[in-house]
Amino acid sequence: MEATASAEMPKYKCHKEVWALKIKAIEQSPPGDPAPKDSGGTWLLIPEDARYGPIKVTHNGYVIKHKPEVGGYYVVYADGYKSFSPEKAFEDGYSPA
């Protein structure tokens, strides 16, 4: 039996501060680059802002889980959690602090 909602779910507004960089390119790191065992290899997120170098992420630990795309944002929360946000969702919800 399918459950039906009797009321609209509560709405929430975000008020978190995060650190983020827009992604210009995503590249597989060259062979031989050190990566944690069973990580599936290392990938590089290349930021649009040239002041920042590539961000190394693991294939299994980040790429498969978050499915980053060019134009979206690499996001780090205050507790250190690293995530990905699509461009529109991020820009609709965040502005520079």
The pLDDT assigned to 43 comes to: 92
Q: What is the mean pLDDT of the chain?
A: 89
* E-strand stretches of 1-97: 19-28, 42-47, 55-58, 73-76, 82-85
Residue 68 burial by Cβ neighbours in a 10 Å radius (0-12, 13-18, 19+): buried
Lowest-confidence region among 2-6, 21-25, 58-62:
2-6
- Please write the tens of the pLDDT for every residue from 8-53: 888 888 888 999 999 999 998 876 666 666 667 889 999 999 999 9
Q: Could you give the percent of the chain with pLDDT greater than 90?
A: 61
